[in-house]
A and B are shown apart, each in its own frame.
Chain A
Amino acid sequence: MNRKSIMAYPYIVWMVLFIVIPILLVFYYGFTMESSAGLTFSLENFKRFFEPVYLMVLVRSFILAALSTGICLLLGYPLAMILASKDFKRKNMMLLLLIVPMWMNFLLRTYAWLTLIEKKGIINSLLSNLNLPTINIIYTTRAVVLGMVYNFLPFMVLPIYTVLSKIDKSVIEAAEDLGANSLTTFKKVIFPLSLPGVISGITMVFMPAVTTFVISRLLGGGHYKLIGNLIEQQFLSVYDWNFGSAISIIMMIVILISMGILSKYEEVREGGGIV
């Protein structure tokens, strides 16, 4: 036994207590059912999930999360590039502004959006004072997506920024030297080299977006039930822990598959051809 493996013990105990046991419990509830004979093994919970009502919730969650992730990528990548460019003088200021909201409570930030975009909220009263048409997006898909993008954008920008700022400047110069203009340099060198950042950005935005229940409840007004809301409901109002656990397991499997596909893609890019 070397010293390092002894030092790992507290962490192993921690992980068993707070990760392994809870997951086992989720599996236990998911694969059992309350019946007259007490708890019995059953696949009924899983079968129930494949009813169209529930499947729609899953599909909607994925579409909204994918949309938000896409918007975050489109907004975040250029921002990461600006931050990573050497001659950008206000870089630290910008980084700070990007991170500061994360120091504030997540619920608070989402409530803030509620007061901003409400029918008679701050934005609309401003607009109507200026005799401009008011916007009506509260309790719509757009509001939910807005909430997701706002909350998760830093998780897209930061990993991309980190990877971009680590790219050796001389590699970019080499591309220019070999005849590539700035667009070609971006397409063939900068973007492929930033892919690890893009992939971890996508992971870090998509995962919380697909499982969120707070944003959809506050900004979607309960009309837009996502998978997170469904699970929350099973545990907190319906008290059907078995069904809730089954949904959680399905969710875990789907996320695992998505991550698997993403990492496959990354491997292909690393070894594969660009020319």
Chain B
Amino acid sequence: MDEKLLELVDISKTFDTTEALRDINLYIRRNEFVTLLGPSGCGKTTILRIIGGFEQPTTGRVLFEGKDIASLPPYKRRVNTVFQRYALFPHMNVFENVAFGLAIKKIDPRTIERKVASILELVNLANYGERSIESLSGGQQQRVAIARALINEPEVLLLDEPLAALDLKLRKGMQIELKKMQQKLGITFVYVTHDQEEALTMSDTVVVMNDGVIQQMGTPEDIYNEPKNIFVADFIGESNIIDGIMIRDYLVEFSGRKFECVDTGFGENRYVDVVIRPEDIKIVKEGEGMLTGQVKSVIFKGVHYEMLVESQDYTWKIHNTLMEPIGKKVGLNILPDDIHIMTKGGEAHE
């Protein structure tokens, strides 16, 4: 698990005059499920295309098992891609699409037939071999695309927002199926998405990107619980971000009050950003909390209610399974563990 299968070293990429990637350093271990997560235009697809061989990095090296493959054309790489809009061959049926990679390698027809049958079974499309591509639904086409890539037994499978075109329910189902497939086959997945929930559900490692720069890399738990900067905090889940002053280690002041916290190393009396997740703010009776506020709005979100509570200088977004009526004055409590401190516009300290 610790072997570095694929490594990007100091990669940058410039299209004409726009900088798409800057100083990308990233390694991917064998059998890992890595997700590149970020808003559209953040450079995540460009990284995937550089690994796949469709783009050349402007500077930097792409190492595969320690060897530089930056100059290798796509067809010589032991990497396969599931494209965003599937890119199936419209003039071939399902069987021919899936068999394409093997047919090129001149493998004997009987072996091809056996392998295609077993991979179609894996993606739940047994007996679909003779069907034409246009007769398939989006979800089925998507599975053909996965089968077509997997049949070549790649070392790394690259997936470019493969579920983006599917409806919510199908997407949830496919997320689980993909994860199962990855564990069963033991293939390294590099997955690109802008859906933070998808990233958190499926990945071993999440790489959060913005503006061509890696913002944070870590396990889904790390990324969610310990966002490194304001961008990550804001992009992954929802956050209350409020100005504060770090008085000294373990003590921060915001909303006109001092709070205990677990952060250190900011120095004394520094301006900082304080990040608090909506579900980490507890509502108590008026007068019993650290802060006091008035409920301004309540929205039912299914599992929980989302409430906006106005205190003297900030409107808090709070998630709670119990509802408080609009207009009611309440107290708010925040535990030291749930307060995340970040330097202004920069990164968090440990």
Are A178 and B100 touching (Cβ within 8 A)?
yes
Are B87 and A178 touching (Cβ within 8 A)?
no
Cβ < 8 Å to B, chain A residues 169-202: 170-171, 173-181, 184, 188-189, 192-193
Q: How far is the CA of A175 from the CA of B90 in the complex (A)?
A: 12
Are A188 and B87 touching (Cβ within 8 A)?
no
Q: How far is the CA of A188 from the CA of B75 in the complex (A)?
A: 14
Q: Which residues does chain A contribute within 8 Å of B79, judged by CB atoms?
A: 177
Please pick, from A168, A180, A192, the residue contacting B75 in the complex, using a CB distance under 8 A. A180
What's the least CB distance linking A272 to chain B, in Å?
9
What's the least CB distance linking B22 to chain A, in Å?
25
Are A174 and B89 touching (Cβ within 8 A)?
yes
Q: Which residues does chain A contribute within 8 Å of B277, judged by CB atoms?
A: none
Please pick, from B54, B80, B85, the residue contacting A178 in the complex, using a CB distance under 8 A. B80
- Secondary structure of the A contact surface, majority rule: helix
* Cβ-based interface call for A274 (8 A): yes
Are B101 and A170 touching (Cβ within 8 A)?
no
Are A173 and B74 touching (Cβ within 8 A)?
yes
Closest to B85 in A: A170
Cβ < 8 Å to A, chain B residues 55-90: 73-75, 79-81, 83-85, 87-90
Cβ < 8 Å to A, chain B residues 100-120: 100-101, 103-105
Are B104 and A179 touching (Cβ within 8 A)?
yes
Are A274 and B74 touching (Cβ within 8 A)?
no
Are A176 and B75 touching (Cβ within 8 A)?
yes
Q: How far is the CA of A184 from the CA of B132 in the complex (A)?
A: 22
Closest to A167 in B: B90
Closest to A184 in B: B104
Total count of chain B residues near the partner, CB < 8 A: 30
* Cβ-based interface call for A109 (8 A): no
Q: Which residues does chain A contribute within 8 Å of B95, judged by CB atoms?
A: 275
Q: How far is the CA of A228 from the CA of B61 in the complex (A)?
A: 66
Are B73 and A176 touching (Cβ within 8 A)?
yes
CB-CB under 8 A for A193 and B96, given A173-B83, A174-B83, A179-B104: no
* Cβ-based interface call for B91 (8 A): yes
Q: Which residues does chain A contribute within 8 Å of B132, judged by CB atoms?
A: 271
Q: How far is the CA of A174 from the CA of B89 in the complex (A)?
A: 9
Are B81 and A177 touching (Cβ within 8 A)?
yes
Q: Which residues does chain A contribute within 8 Å of B103, judged by CB atoms?
A: 275
Q: Which residues does chain A contribute within 8 Å of B87, judged by CB atoms?
A: 168, 170-171, 173-174
Give per-residue flags for B18-56: 1 if the beta carbon is below 8 A from chain A beta carbons, else 0.
000000000000000000000000000000000011100
What's the least CB distance linking A261 to chain B, in Å?
20
What's the least CB distance linking B150 to chain A, in Å?
11
Q: How far is the CA of A171 from the CA of B87 in the complex (A)?
A: 5
Are B100 and A188 touching (Cβ within 8 A)?
yes
* Cβ-based interface call for A52 (8 A): no
Total count of chain A residues near the partner, CB < 8 A: 23
CB-CB under 8 A for A173 and B54, given A178-B101, A179-B101, A271-B132: yes
Are B96 and A178 touching (Cβ within 8 A)?
no
Q: How far is the CA of A94 from the CA of B95 in the complex (A)?
A: 40
Are B80 and A192 touching (Cβ within 8 A)?
no
Are A275 and B91 touching (Cβ within 8 A)?
no
* Cβ-based interface call for A34 (8 A): no
Q: Which residues does chain B contribute within 8 Å of A179, judged by CB atoms?
A: 75, 101, 104-105, 152
Are B92 and A275 touching (Cβ within 8 A)?
yes
* Cβ-based interface call for B99 (8 A): yes
Q: How far is the CA of A189 from the CA of B103 in the complex (A)?
A: 13
B residues whose Cβ falls under 8 Å from a Cβ of A = 52-54, 73-75, 79-81, 83-85, 87-92, 95-96, 99-101, 103-105, 132, 148-149, 152
Show 20 A/B contacts (Cβ-Cβ < 8 Å), sorted by A: A170-B87, A171-B90, A173-B54, A173-B74, A173-B83, A176-B75, A177-B53, A177-B74, A177-B79, A177-B80, A177-B81, A177-B149, A178-B101, A178-B148, A179-B101, A179-B152, A188-B104, A271-B132, A273-B96, A275-B96
Q: A177-B53, A177-B149, A180-B75 are in contact. List 11 more A-B contacts (CB 8 A).
A: A168-B85, A170-B87, A174-B81, A177-B80, A178-B152, A179-B101, A184-B104, A188-B104, A193-B89, A193-B90, A274-B92
